[in-house]
Amino acid sequence: MVAFGLAFGATQAPANAAEPVPAPAPVEESGAQESTVGPEAICVFYTNGDYVHVSSTAPAAASGHGWWTNGNCNASLAVVTVQLQQYYSDGKWRNVGSAGKSTVRSGGGAGNRATGRVTCSNRSVTGWRSVIDVDLVGLADDPGKLTTATRNITCRR
């Protein structure tokens, strides 16, 4: 029997709690060895993020943060990626700027979060959101991502 760790993340929008994602049924592989995932191999963590906002530091920029909170995983670090998206007049969301990526401990706060930041080219109102991905270091986890709620801010790229 081969056992492996598998983590399931749940997303949390700002100030909202989310229920953990239920575990899938065990998967059997062909071959001589049987592969199962028991309840002891599954853990839960939460993906969190704040609303995209105009940063308080110059130059004016759209900024969004992402972090994770450990539920019961045997992991102390995760790679958190924050990709900012801007809404365009053609009705499509587009990735803008480079994704912010940091390896951080659970909990958030200064030093324990990733930051996506894009300098504003003018102060026109436009829609912004961020897409946050958490990958636990040393454990496989689900492909889920958190997309924060849209905020209209005075920043256009």
Per residue in 19-35, pLDDT tens?
Answer: 333 333 444 444 444 44
CA 59 – CA 84 distance, rounded (Å): 17
Q: If you search the block for the tokens 């436009």, which residue do you land on?
A: 126
CA 3 – CA 41 distance, rounded (Å): 7
Tell me the whole-structure pTM to 2 decimals. 0.76
List of domains in the chain: 6-156 (2.60.40)
Backbone angles phi and psi of 72, in degrees to 5: -150, 25
Distances in Å between the Cα of 144 and the Cα atoms of 11, 20, 32, 131, 154 are 8, 12, 32, 10, 30
- Tell whether the model's pLDDT for residue 109 goes beyond 80: yes
pLDDT at 131: 98
